[in-house]
Chains A and B, each alone.
Chain A
Amino acid sequence: MPIPAVDTRALTRRFGSLTAVDSLTLSVESGEIFGLLGPNGAGKTTAIKMLVTLLPPTSGNATVAGSDIVRQQVAVRHAIGYVPQMLSADGTLTGYENLLIFAKLYDVPRSERVGRVRDALGFMGLDGAADRLVRGYSGGMIRRLEIAEAMLHHPRVLFLDEPTIGLDPVARQAVWEHISRFRADWETTVILTTHYMEEADALCDRVAIMHLGRVVASGSPAALKGSIGKENATLNEVFAHYTGDILESGGTYRDTRRTRRTARRVG
């Protein structure tokens, strides 16, 4: 049996009295695009941070690409790519420099470095902007640069935390296409979080819906929609069905700006 890309057992993280992630148990197969879905505060970022070794779990355990996230952190770090929720490319460097530095940090062999950086820039449609300071990039370009950065070392598992937060619909569409193509070309497992239902619907093979730190439902988008016994249900309705809550999604320009600011603050 192939080793799952991600396997968690009762993974839990508390902050004081708050349980941000409550006994998360899930298994993601190699090559899947898996979505963690839920509103702000559901615990998605906390779960991702534990899986990428940034945050020690309070209890439970997990493996990523077969390595334990607490005891084999270096092996996990070699196997993963990670794009944090915040737009985090270094604005005072060019796109090319951002990638070059990470190629070095990820031990990409010297002879392949420049080639991989150029390929990644090309793949993400950023050749033209490579030598400009990232400060002048649009949000969508920064996101694509960050995804390029996270795939330089051909990771087996790629973690994307809210990859399209704060992007306009066109930029969001472009990021979706790149993620799909990336998975197809590299057979990388992709784990992403989102609070946009359309995003999960468009991209993910399977999703787990999180609410207040717990998974309330999981399965393929189609199966979840089928499970609530309503024809042509949207994932929004699925969410409402399982949580009794309304999930705001989409939203006005003002909302997006606000999410983007919160995104910068929290993460």
Chain B
Amino acid sequence: MTQEERVAQHAGSVSLLRRGWRLPFAAAGQFVLKALVIAELEARKLRHDPSELLTRAVQPALWLLVFGQVFTHIRAIPTGDLPYLDFMAPGILAQSVLFIAIFYGITIIWERDLGIVHKFLVTPTPRAAIVTGKALSAGVRGLSQAVIVYALAAGLGVKIEWNPLALLGVIAIVILGAALFSTFSLIVACLVKTRERFMGIGQVMTMPLFFASNAIYPIAIMPGWLRVIARGNPLTYEVDALRALMLSGGSSTYGLGLDFAVLVVATALLILIAGHLYSKVAI
């Protein structure tokens, strides 16, 4: 091999190496870009018809105003130093995000019936990116709930933490929570396939997720078997993180690190499964 050939070969392998490095980055960039396009699509829909967001304000308002006020008064639930209303406000935020996310999957059934899914699937968009985009847009819906719950809670005298970092943390947790449960909902929709069955199962899913969590009472007062379920329920970690971040002087039971880790890992896992199932929806 001449010197020139060797240099040329070396240059070749360097550029190969570089390309090898760049390829995963380019793919990851593409993935994020495409997910954002899907999220943009959903955001545009929401902008044309934001009424959905307003009607969604009714439920958290009722919980905080009626349930919260009454239970604060009778002191039935031991919440330590926290007034009960402060204790439940992050729980109600998590709940309203859950409710908005858990029925999100029905849009997939709709879009399948309309042929919209088919058109997404014939574009070169990675399946998991489509699913991630939908999860992000559920996150946007979730944030609208956060605004409502913050306004209600502040109005009722809950001691809110206004530190910008804490607010950023809440935004992240709300988006993660919405992404997690909307993707779960999407998986259920892909499996049950019809609107009627999905609505039935949606109703059945929501209540156990909500009640088998620390949203409106501490896990400590639960019977043993329920405690085990609550510890496995991602909603518990979402509420735990929100309690630490939303309340002035709030604290987390499991540690913010664990809370975030549980939510991120569960969401990523669900997105992988959903991406796989989504590509079969059009069959």
Contact = CB atoms under 8 A, between A and B. Distances in A.
Interface of A: 49, 52-55, 74, 77-78, 80, 82, 84-88, 90, 92-94, 97, 101-102, 104-107, 133, 149, 264-265, 267
Nearest to A15: B283
B122 A53 contact: yes
Given A101-B37, A105-B34, A54 B123 contact: no
Contact of B49 (A84, A92, A101): A92
A105 B282 contact: no
Contacts of B123: 77, 102, 105-106
Nearest to B281: A54
Contacts of B115: 84-88, 267
Interface in B32-85: 34, 37, 40-41, 44-45, 48-49
User: Which 5 A-B residue pairs are closest in the complex by CB-CB distance?
Assistant: A88-B115, A86-B115, A84-B115, A105-B123, A77-B124
A77 B124 CA distance: 5
B1 interface: no
Contact of A149 (B40, B44, B119): B119
A85 B115 CA distance: 8
Contacts of A101: 37, 40-41, 44
Given A54-B282, A92-B49, A101-B41, A84 B119 contact: yes
Interface of B: 34, 37, 40-41, 44-45, 48-49, 113-116, 118-125, 282-283
A74 B125 CA distance: 9
B141 to A, nearest CB: 14
B122 A82 contact: yes
B124 A106 contact: yes
Contacts of B119: 82, 84, 88, 102, 149
B47 to A, nearest CB: 10
A93 B41 contact: yes
Q: Which of B114, B115, B119 lies at the interface centre, i.e. has the most chain A CB atoms within 10 A of its CB?
A: B119
A172 B44 CA distance: 31
B48 A88 contact: no
28 contacts: A49-B282, A49-B283, A53-B121, A54-B282, A55-B283, A77-B122, A82-B118, A82-B122, A86-B114, A87-B114, A87-B115, A88-B115, A88-B116, A88-B119, A92-B45, A92-B48, A93-B44, A93-B48, A97-B41, A97-B44, A101-B41, A104-B40, A105-B34, A105-B124, A106-B123, A107-B124, A133-B48, A264-B113
Given A92-B45, A105-B125, A133-B48, A84 B37 contact: no
Contacts of A149: 119
Nearest to A52: B122
Contacts of A264: 113-114
Nearest to B123: A105
Nearest to B279: A54
Contacts of B118: 54, 82, 84, 88, 267
B37 A104 contact: yes
A90 B48 contact: no
Contact of B122 (A80, A92, A104, A107): A80
A104 to B, nearest CB: 4
A17 to B, nearest CB: 17
Given A54-B282, A55-B283, A90 B116 contact: yes
A54 B49 contact: no
A55 B116 CA distance: 16
Contacts of B49: 92
Contacts of A55: 282-283
B147 to A, nearest CB: 22
A113 to B, nearest CB: 11
A267 B118 CA distance: 10
Contacts of A94: 48
Nearest to A107: B124
Q: Which of A87, A93, A265 lies at the interface centre, i.e. has the most chain B CB atoms within 10 A of its CB?
A: A93
B119 to A, nearest CB: 6
Contacts of B44: 93, 97, 101
Contact of B45 (A85, A93, A265): A93
Given A105-B124, A267-B115, 15 more contacts: A54-B118, A54-B121, A82-B118, A84-B119, A87-B114, A88-B114, A92-B45, A93-B41, A97-B44, A101-B40, A104-B40, A105-B34, A107-B124, A264-B113, A265-B113
Contacts of B124: 74, 77-78, 105-107
Contacts of B41: 90, 93, 97, 101
Nearest to A105: B123
Contacts of A90: 41, 45, 116
